[in-house]
Structure 1
Amino acid sequence: MAARPLVPIETLPLFPELDRLLLELLRNLPPADWQRPTLARQWTVKDIAAHLLDGNLRTLSMLRDGYFGEAPDDFSYTGMVAYLNRLNADWVRAARRLSPAVLIDWLAQSGAEYTAYLNTLDPWGPAPWPVAWAGENESWNWFHIARDYTEKWHHQQQIREAVGQPAPLMEPTLFRPFIETMMRGLPHAYREVAAPAGTLVHVVIDGAAGGSWELARAAGGWHLQSPGAVPPAATLTLAPADAWQLFTKGLSAAEARERALVAGDETLAQAALRMVAVMG
């Protein structure tokens, strides 16, 4: 298990608010909006709502109740991605038989049970699943919970983008923990980037909800640290809306580069554009 980071990301208190906002949104959608296309490629608004329900039920079944049904037979990164993609596709296809009303009722019930389960976990206990997109083979529960927060946040935001109501999740209290969790994947994204020891890269997310993250090269690889006074070799600046879409595969690296600001070493800055902070 890795050493404890100095500042864990506290997301658990935010889950009830995410659920409240989701249910409020879905209960007020006109029928046509449920079939709108989304950034999740072939999934409609209704498909994403069904996927969020699956996330609740899968966690309760697998982790709370110890019932896997279909367990993965390959725990490598590639094997887990294939396993999750298959589970996701099977569920979404079957859930197209369910009405929006049924989905809303089940989301309300399962969401409360899901959050209650997360509250039983020791934040510093070993997580059942590592945060693989951050390069971890073992993770603490607080990071597992924060990763789940990013899943719920970005899927709800995909729905909100599709129906033209993105603002609520972009508030600092909800967006900042989301992007802070995503940034924990930067050292893994830079793992193959060569640079002299002491090289610094800054990634900046504009606006009140954003911030600045400093990535430093040491003898053993790249790591995040508190920004200091030493000028970085490269700085990448992204708008919040571009950042969340980029890191969840809703925006390509090439598209993001056209919108981003880069200062200093272009190659060093562009490595951040290749970070993916989701599985599948």
Structure 2
Amino acid sequence: MPLAKLQPTDTRALFRPVAAELLRVLKALPPSEWERPTIAGSWLLRDVVAHLIDVAFRRLSFHRDRLIPPPPSRPINSERDFIDFINGINAEWVNANRRLSPRILTDLLEKSTTELATHFETLPFEAPALFGVSWAGEQTSEGWFDVGREFTELWHHQEQIRLAIGAPPLADARFLHAVLEIAVRGLPHAFRDTKAAEGDTVVLEVGGPAGGLWTLTRRENRWELESGEPPRTTTRIRVSDKNAWRLLFNALKGDTPRTVVEAEGQPELVAAFLAARSVVV
């Protein structure tokens, strides 16, 4: 598969079916299951649900209803300041929602995700972004990329919930493939401080039904991402679709990322991939 320019990924029609699958799982859970730990740090299952309600209502308020976001309580002068700000507002909402029952949380999730799906389904594909995708190093993004980032939130937090209760992953490979197409766009930013010779390449080969093939190329002191692979490869990384999303969404802890990839080539380029994340952490 020769190198080709990346094409936009349209996730607008995927929110409704993915949210419906999550609601089906949650409505079958007894209250005790809502207290299960998850791979999302210290968050319990109920906290992950609360966070999904938060991001959906935030998006509807700021995007659909054009509410101006309140300013941060402290100036944001660096990427670290931004991460701390996001983590802070996430924690505020989650802590407050610990006073709500699973039934109330489920009702709120159903309302918020239904309205969110309707909003995105009626949003023109060329509509401007509400926010830049920070984990891709962008202050201003294409609208479809901003929407796609929102879809990765819904999808990967649902997978965290499914892992917590031992439920199978979402069966439709279209959903994970779309998540990976969005997530890999953060790789040039993740590699920004990784030096290499002009023309050096990193081929990422993701196996499985949701997989794909992408190449990072060093050109004019920056990294560029394309689909496919070139005739000459400096470094090749192979990983399953299941482990690719877990790595990029910070679901693998400690040295586990090194155990789930096969790599050949320059160690520093492999290390940069292992440290890449497509989520604010």
Cα distance in 2 between the residues matched to 1:222 and 1:229: 15
Alpha-carbon spacing, 1:87–1:47, altered in 2? closer, same or farther (3 Å): same
Say if 2:194 is the partner of 1:207. Answer: no
User: Are the structure 2 counterparts of residues 176 and 75 from structure 1 closer, same or farther at C-alpha, using a change threshold of 3 Å?
Assistant: farther
Letter matched to residue 74 of structure 1: I
* Amino acid aligned to 1:218: R
- Once residues 162 and 68 of structure 1 are traced to their aligned partners in structure 2, the CA distance between those partners, rounded to angstroms, is 36
In structure 1, the partner of 2:44 is 44
**Cα separation, 1, equivalents of 2:245 and 2:237:** 14
Alignment of 1:194-273 (within 5 A): 194-252=195-253, 254-273=255-274
- Deviation digits for residues 17-64 of structure 1 (CA, Å, limit 9, x no counterpart): 111101000001122211110001111111111111111111122222
Instruction: Say whether 1:114 aligns with 2:116.
Output: yes
Aligned partners of 1:126 and 1:138 also within 8 Å: no
Q: What are the equivalent positions in structure 2 for 1:101-250 lying under 5 Å apart?
A: 101-168=103-170, 171-250=172-251
2:103 corresponds to 1:65: no
Identify unmatched segments of 5+ residues in structure 1: none
Structure 2, unaligned runs of 5 or more = none
| CA deviation profile, 1:220-266 (whole Å, cap 9, x unmatched) | 41101232441311111122232222212221362111221111222
Q: Structure 1 residue 197: deviation in Å?
A: 1.3
- Residue 68 of structure 1 deviates from its aligned partner by 4.6
Task: Tell me which moved more, 117-126 or 83-92.
Answer: 117-126
Work out the percentage of aligned pairs sharing the same amino acid: 37
RMSD of Structure 2 on Structure 1 (CA): 1.8
* Alignment length (residue pairs): 275
Q: CA deviation at 1:217?
A: 0.9
Aligned to 1:9, what secondary structure does the other structure show?
coil
The higher relative CO (CA closer than 8 Å, separation ≥ 6) is in 2
Match of residue 16 from structure 1: 16
> Which position in structure 2 is the counterpart of 1:85?
87
TM-score of the superposition, structure 2-length normalised? 0.92
Query: Deviations 1:188-215 (Å, cap 9, x if unpaired)?
Result: 1111111111111111222121112111
SS of residue paired to 1:40: coil
SS of residue paired to 1:115 = helix
CA distance in 1, matches of 2:6, 2:180: 17
**Residues in 2 aligned to 1:191 and 1:228: alpha-carbon distance in whole angstroms:** 20
What one-letter code is carried by the residue in structure 2 that aligns with 1:7? Q
Cα distance in 1 for partners of 2:204, 2:30 equals: 39
Please list every run of at least 4 consecutive aligned residues from structure 1 whose deviation after the TM superposition is greater than 6 angstroms: none
